[in-house]
Amino acid sequence: MLRWLTLLSCILLTALHGNIVEDVGAAQQASYPPPPPPFPFNVIVILPKRESTYDNFGMTLQKAMPVIDIAVQEVIKAKKLPPGWINLTYWDSRLYEDILLAERHATVGVIQAYCEHRLDAILGFADNYGLATVTKVTAGLNGGIPILTTSGMPSLLNSKKEYPFLTRMQGSYRLLADSMYQLIAYHDEDSVSKSNSSLNYLNLIFFYHDKRRAVNRVIAQDESQETGATSSHCYFSLYAIKRYFTEKSKTFKREWALNTPQFPFDEDLVIERETFKQWLREISLQSNVIILCASPDTVREIMLAAHDLGMATSGEYVFINIDVSTGSHAEQPWIRANDTNNEENEKAKEAYRALKTISLRRSDLDEYKNFELRVKERADQKYNYTNITGKDYEMNNFISAFYDAVLLYAIALNETIQSGLDPRNGHNITSRMWGRTFVGITGNVSIDHNGDRYSDYSLLDLDPVQNRFVEVAYYSGASNQLKTVGQLHWVGGKPPTDLPICGYDKSKCPGYPLHVYLLMGSFLLILVLVGLFIFFWRRYKLEQELAAMSWKIRWEELDGEESQKKNEKKKAKKRKNHNDYLPESDPLLRSTSRSSVNSDKFDEDSLIPIRFRLRSSSSGTTRKISAMIDRKLSIFTRKKSTPPSESQKNGGLTPNSLQKAENGDCSPINEVQFRLPLNDRRVSSPSSEATRKKNSNEEDPENGAKKSLSLKNRKLSFGMVSFKSGSGGSVETIAQNNTQIYTKTAIFKGVVVAIKKLNIDPKKYPRLDLSRAQLMELKKMKDLQHDHITRFTGACIDFPHYCVVTEYCPKGSLEDILENEKIELDKLMKYSLLHDLVKGLFFLHNSEIRSHGRLKSSNCVVDSRFVLKVTDFGLHRLHCLEEINLEEIGEHAYYKKMLWTAPELLRDSNAPPMGTQKGDIYSFAIILHEMMFRKGVFALENEDLSPNEIVQRVRKPVSEDQEPLRPWVSETGEGEGDDALNDTLLSLMVACWSEDPHERPEVSSVRKAVRSLNRDNETSNLVDNLLKRMEQYANNLEGLVEERTQEYLAEKKKVEELLHQLLPPAIADTLIAGRAVQAESYDCVTIYFSDIVGFTSLSSQSTPMQVVTLLNDLYLAFDGVVDNFKVYKVETIGDAYMVVSGLPERRDDHANQIAQMSLSLLHKVKNFVIRHRPHEQLKLRIGMHSGSVVAGVVGSKMPRYCLFGDTVNTSSRMESNGLPLKIHVSQQTYDILMQEAGFKLELRGSVEMKGKGMQTTYWLRGYKDVEIPDFGEEFA
């Protein structure tokens, strides 16, 4: 009967060829000569023509054809079969139309090929139902037709009685179930299965896509439509898992006997995230282990819903995704390129940490990667895949398996022909394909005796370091083993349990009597109350301390040396009247800031450093050595008390100043008396007491108008030796324009303190509202006390005087001392200073500060006892508010500060502001090199590199065979003055600047090594060394005085040049001479006013910085034009620009100059480009008027040269009543311009002006051959 039906169908289908996509038999016959019989063999490939939601495996004819072509070529190339051995027919199964009709279309194609005698084998099938039907039908045709498929993995197709000629190139879901069982499943105690997994999950729930069983399926009125839904591949895969688990474990068989925990849904319907949340809440009541199976987009939505519920971040739940359908190996499956919300991608990434994925293992062989490239190239060149589909070709395991299928069929065909058997008999071919292993494109391919391939599966997990999914384990189907290749990463640090210990209903926890619970509760309550009391009491005390802000210093509390200034002024008057000389207290020569190193005064205070160093020696000999030093010092000081020389009488040191220095009343450096004649041109003295009063009492605008704070610039000196240091700027010394500036000092509660100004923009922070973390930081700084760190006195946060107040160390920074070539430091002094530095650093690393972060030689200061102290540490959150401008401080100083910074911190764009302890060790090594060699920071042997170049080379990563850039070290181990370096110290230095931070020693090890070096020198004779050192500090001050004078004259010249830019030169010279500027009347001048039309609107649509940039660019351009005319720029207010001609120098052509200037400015505006709005025309409105004015200087604070009179007001009215990009001229200016030929003016008419009534005005159109630019019809 079957044969008759088949014959009838052949008659009906002989004329049907609609579904044949391509018959490549003719093409192959044309390429090669006709092969001998029994060739060719007819193979039909049945796949859908295009992708659809029904195609779960991503298999289409367009994807399979290039793979099959390459496989056929490889068979011919390997000489397994001759050219033309195969005739391929591609048949469209039309799966994309309807999955229920796909099996019909597939069957029709097979029957048609059979009737035309073109059916020897079948490849393909993307749906299980069509595969099952065709396999059953073809089993009775010609002894059976062999079918090779890369899908068909459901366990229902395992029966070889029903499907005797079916070969599955991806195996069955049973191998997937086996891998799952070995990975996560609970194993019975008597189970013979061995597993590397320790999860032992028993309570599982399946959450998967399936239309037929979905809880959200649409109930159709027509029952036929409702039953038409098919089971999904997720159902088949999870069904195989259930079946395998129940076969292998009695426990699972018992637990799942009545019902398998499952929650199917239909993902093709619209599902809101709230719906997923509701479903997850229900699922969470059943298990903590959720087995997912759905499309990648649906899995992402589920994980986002789990993230919102906290299930993905709590560490109590794990999601296992079965992603076998497409063989996806996406490394970052949470990313959606079309997702407009990047925050959503970050949330999905965090959720995917709780997701583990099981997928078909992908080959990592180079041959497979080359094969992918060949397939992609063939798909585009021969089949034009990209142009037809609109997307790039993408390979997966199911497509690449067609290569192995063709190769397997060719091998079986060759062996059958060689054996002399019928190659068109399905049994002969199938028997040679099953139970064999061959080399495929993915490596060894093994087919079992049931025609199923042994597939491998990968377990993928999100690696937080690599930020992608990586393989952590894989299941080998051939060996039936689970092999671990990585480590699983769990959200909670450990695998979650599948069920709470007590169960969701608490039935597994034993019960206790009521009084036990009451006692336990009471005890816990008492403990909690006691803990809360202690906590809140300590918190209360802490809040009190924070609220008290004991560190806070008001700006008024910083009392400078105002009283000393007043006394010096009185003495100066007497000395001036007596011998006609200017004293030091004159405002032009006075210098009251603190020097960073004291002078050579040998009073009791000067003996402190000697006695302090003697304390490190044997305690029994301290007094004797001190007495010996006192005797020698008394002799030395008597030698220094020589009569003043003639040069001192004519302009050097006064005897009084030297005598006061020896008596300890003052320091020769801090209070140097200059005696210069009054007629010396190098000195310009104010002409009146009022001027002197103003100079001494005026508030410093930069430093917040604080007159009592001594902030004068002072050249660094050590004793009487001049330092020429290029310090990068420490608390004690600051470098600016290659000139050394002393630290800013003040007197706080009778003690001299150092002031470090914070570079916080007052405009950006008009008020410092400190956070709790910043208050805690300040409190911790206030509590720190140690001999080798500078004491934190407090901080001032009064607007705009933001500064930090610390202990003042008068000897300056270590950098200053090392860069002074005249100061010789022997090993004893070096080791002593080095030991002080290490002790300070050790204390910081073991305190709450933890690390310094800005350690350098300029941040190591020396106090009056020659004790080195570490400074400028802590307050990192406060320093984060500072703004460092490269242009202001200069590139050299900016990058010089980085020469002490560790390379790993230079490379890190988000380096911690407080630095690291290993970074401090690196900085210590650079300081150690400075001390040992005294060639400056980061000295190199044969290279002259700028700080920027050094920083860039240090920042650049180096390979293992490269040496990192480090300061030069002599091969002979010689340091300063050819002194041999200690091997221990040299090894310590090299270890401390290691490229790898982990190789650098801890500060405790450094402290131990330095202490051993210093201990060896503690017993040396100190007296002669110290006396010799103190003699070196005594230098002549004459060079210092001359140097100070030259610096003063240079600064005076700069001030005069700046004043000439702010005021007319004649007015500025009058003010410099000390004379009052009298107001002057001018009969006729011409005033120019202009502003920008629409500036308010433009400002509202721009950032403040863009507005400032616009005005700066515009006024720079205007200033360049104004300089070409005989005019004076009065001022700019916002967008208004005011210029006058005819004053202060009287001119008759003032109107002519203003008119020509206006035309030039319009031409400049024509080509002016607004940076942030390059396509917008700037609309300048100009008005001018001529008349009489009065001009004079107004005010004593920031004096201004101002104009007064009705002419100014009228000029402003002319501008405001004008039009954009036009020059508005009054009647008076018109009359003056018409006296000179060449000006082109046009009558505008009468215009009503506020306060002026009707006024006749004109438009200025040009002058001679200069016309107003053409701005378009709109402004014509």
Provide CB contacts within 8 A for 285, sequence distance 6+. Answer: 504
Question: Residue 1135, annotated ligand binder?
Answer: yes
Going along 554-608, which residue ranges are E strands?
581-582
- Rg of the chain over CA atoms, in angstroms? 46
Provide CB contacts within 8 A for 667, sequence distance 6+. Answer: 595, 598, 599, 601, 661
Q: State the Cα–Cα distance between residues 350 and 464, nearest whole angstrom.
A: 10
Q: How many CB atoms lie within 10 A of CB 548?
A: 10
Q: How many CB atoms lie within 10 A of CB 597?
A: 28
Question: Residue 636, annotated ligand binder?
Answer: no
For residue 607, the Cα-to-chain-centroid distance in whole angstroms is: 52
Question: Residue 938, annotated ligand binder?
Answer: no
Q: Which candidate, 330, 285, 277, places its Cα nearest to that of 306?
A: 277
Going along 1104-1161, which residue ranges are E strands?
1128-1133, 1136-1141
Question: Residue 1092, annotated ligand binder?
Answer: yes
For residue 311, the Cα-to-chain-centroid distance in whole angstroms is: 31
Token output for 719: 């004793």
Question: Residue 723, annotated ligand binder?
Answer: yes
Token output for 438: 């061959």
Task: Give bridge partners of residue 884 from the DSSP assignment.
Answer: none
Is residue 335 classed as helix, strand or coil in its secondary structure?
coil
Q: Is there a contact between 314 and 306 (Cβ–Cβ < 8 Å)?
A: no
Is residue 909 classed as helix, strand or coil in its secondary structure?
coil
Question: Residue 727, annotated ligand binder?
Answer: yes
Provide CB contacts within 8 A for 433, sequence distance 6+. Answer: 146, 148, 167, 408, 409, 411, 412, 447, 451
Q: State the Cα–Cα distance between residues 1127 and 1153, nearest whole angstrom.
A: 7
Question: What are the contacts of 975-979 at 24+ separation with CB within 8 A?
Answer: 975/932, 975/933, 976/825, 976/932, 976/933, 976/934, 977/824, 979/827
Q: Which candidate, 752, 750, 716, places its Cα nearest to that of 734?
A: 716
How does strand 1223-1225 pair with strand 1253-1263? antiparallel
Q: Which residue has the tokens 């048609």?
A: 112
Q: Is there a contact between 793 and 803 (Cβ–Cβ < 8 Å)?
A: no
Is residue 949 classed as helix, strand or coil in its secondary structure?
helix
Q: Which candidate, 215, 184, 474, places its Cα nearest to that of 319?
A: 184
Q: Which residue has the tokens 């069955």?
A: 172
Q: State the Cα–Cα distance between residues 1126 and 1159, nearest whole angstrom.
A: 15
Provide CB contacts within 8 A for 1230, sequence distance 6+. Answer: 1241, 1258
Q: State the Cα–Cα distance between residues 280 and 283, nearest whole angstrom.
A: 5
Question: Residue 729, annotated ligand binder?
Answer: yes
Q: State the Cα–Cα distance between residues 723 and 716, nearest whole angstrom.
A: 5
Question: Residue 252, annotated ligand binder?
Answer: no
Question: Residue 1232, annotated ligand binder?
Answer: no
Q: State the Cα–Cα distance between residues 143 and 651, nearest whole angstrom.
A: 128
Q: State the Cα–Cα distance between residues 569 and 575, nearest whole angstrom.
A: 10
Q: State the Cα–Cα distance between residues 1121 and 1153, nearest whole angstrom.
A: 12
Size (the chain), residues: 1276
Is residue 959 classed as helix, strand or coil in its secondary structure?
coil
Token output for 1204: 């007064």
How does strand 717-718 pair with strand 1239-1249? unpaired
Q: Which candidate, 946, 716, 722, places its Cα nearest to that of 813?
A: 716
Q: State the Cα–Cα distance between residues 1131 and 3, nearest whole angstrom.
A: 109
Annotated binding site for Mg(2+), which residues? 1091-1092, 1135
Annotated binding site, which residues? 723-731, 756, 1091-1092, 1135
Annotated binding site for ATP, which residues? 723-731, 756
